[in-house]
Amino acid sequence: MIQIDLRRLFLKDEIHSVIRQMINLINSPVCIMDSKGKKIIGEMDEGLSCEYPIALENRAIGMVYGGEKASVLAFLLSCLANLELEKKALGREALKKYREITLLYDIAEKLTASLDPKEAAQLVVDVAKMLIKADNISVMLKNEESGVFELLASSGRELHPGEGLKIGIGIAGGVFHSGRAEIVNDISSDDRYVSGAVRVSSLMCAPLKIKDRVIGVIYVSSEERAHYTAEDLKLLSALAFQAAADIENARLYDSLKETFLTTVHILAETIEKRDPYTGGHIKRVMNYSMAVGKELGLPELEMEHLELAAVLHDIGKISIRDSVLLKKGKLTVDEFAEIKMHPIYAEEILDHIKHLKGIIPGVKHHHERYDGSGYPEGLKGNDIDIIARIISVADAFDAMTTDRPYRERMELAEAFDELRANSGTQFDPRVVKAFFTACSENRIPVERQGK
């Protein structure tokens, strides 16, 4: 359970300032204490006749003592604490998703080094145990000679010991023939189920596919009712894809890297949906950036980093409040200061992910300006990572040519003029030149963008 420390909450300057202003408005003595009865603000005396809890969900994390007006202060603190809880929960969920990506990327590297199908299958089973709640996990392949499933790797007790399970029967057989993954949370309601050596209440099964050819299945089950979700099935399907690619030993690394990138795209686009006015922004910025990178002749590794950085360049906005991020009017000075923190938040998220640390400079510094007047560090010229300089141009062009809550999009000619006018100040002239070259060669679509 996520904990909110009331005392630490008061260490935030903006919150401390708001509370002090509220106390001044109340204009009567108050005392604020944490859940352990330790004073945070004010002095306790007999004149403070009323007490009001600072509520976080259904529990008190502190108390406000004072007169009747002190109830307003307790309510405000409760709201602030719950907002902080929501922010932490959102950040934790994002980190959980990216840790899953890291685990998938790690298994991709290990599978690349493995030439033994059984070893690779067991590795997939071990990773599935970490990601999905299950009592039994099996990877079964079709034996082309006998026409039955044979167990390649497992965790728990084998579901179908002996000679194997005939391909044409059971839920696994159905998944094999259809090529579609399935969830069965109530096994008693599915007459396809064939009982095996262990009791099963819920299960998931995903096909091991090479292109359009199914070579086997990965099968997870729980002896108790598990309530598997579509997200669980998505993870299992990703693992099934990886296992199949290694068993086939055909372009393993490229296939797994593509899976990783696709997952990053899906997660980034899911986060993007938080703001309806930026639909498609990530994809367009990535396309513009990749075209410019190609024009500049970036090596393969930098192009890979450019793609990831472009997709994740705004990941830090997950920590920005909706009231600020989605505001239709002009931002206040404090609100803009909060927006300017998103590159720092992005660095904090990406720093937890080993395989994404290399893209941090490109993500963190895409709001730096070529003349040194940008943020967050005021870097100048070639001190700014080339990937960040590319994303800066792509991001600005897309922002200018799409509708936003606070303004309508520019005409293309006006947006092009802005890029030229700010070349050498906001933007790297070499990147701007490459952008226009890519446009002239139709590698960057320049039709007007919608919402």
The DSSP string of 236-258 is HHHHHHHHHHHHHTSSHHHHHHH
Q: Are residues 428 and 294 in the same domain?
A: yes
User: Of 218, 248, 278, which marks where a domain is finished?
Assistant: 248
The answer to whether the beta carbons of residues 205 and 165 sit under 8 Å apart is no
- 360-402 pLDDT tens trace: 999 999 999 999 999 999 999 999 999 999 999 999 999 898 8
Whole-number pLDDT of residue 423:
96
Reported as a pLDDT band with limits 50, 70 and 90, residue 218 is: very high
Mean local confidence (pLDDT), 87-101: 70
* Helix or strand holding residue 213 (H, E): strand 213-222
Quick: pLDDT tens for 20-42: 888 888 888 888 888 888 888 88
pLDDT (tens digit, 9 = 90+) per residue, 155-200? 886 555 444 566 767 888 889 989 999 999 988 888 888 776 677 8
Q: From residue 126, give the alpha-carbon distance in Å to each of 155, 201, 202, 206.
A: 8, 21, 19, 16
Tally the domains of the chain: 3
For position 250, what pLDDT does the model report?
36
Q: Name the pTM for this structure.
A: 0.48
Do 229 and 162 have their domain in common? yes
- Asked, for residue 97, whether it belongs to a domain, the answer is no
DSSP 154: E
Of 49 and 313, more confident = 313
Quick check: is 90 in a domain? no
300 lies in the same domain as 223? no
Domain limits for position 371: 256-440
Distance CA(197)–CA(292), nearest Å, equals 58
Reported in sequence order, the residue ranges of 35-173 that DSSP labels E, i.e. its strands, are 39-41, 50-56, 59-66, 136-142, 148-155, 165-166
pLDDT in tens, 298-327: 998 899 999 999 999 988 888 888 888 878
Q: 318-328 b/e with 16+ CB inside 10 Å = b?
A: bbbeeebbeee
Predicted pLDDT at 163: 42
Q: Are residues 62 and 184 in the same domain?
A: no
Q: What is the pLDDT of residues 191-204, one digit of tens each?
A: 888 776 677 889 99
What SS3 state is found at 44?
coil
Is residue 274 located within the same domain as residue 206? Answer: no
Are residues 210 and 292 both part of a single domain?
no
Report phi then psi at 90, rounded to 5.
-65, -45
Q: Does one domain contain both 191 and 166?
A: yes
Radius of gyration from C-alpha coordinates of the chain: 28
Q: Let me know if residue 445 belongs to a domain.
A: no
Residues 275 and 412 in one domain: yes
292 belongs to a structural domain: yes
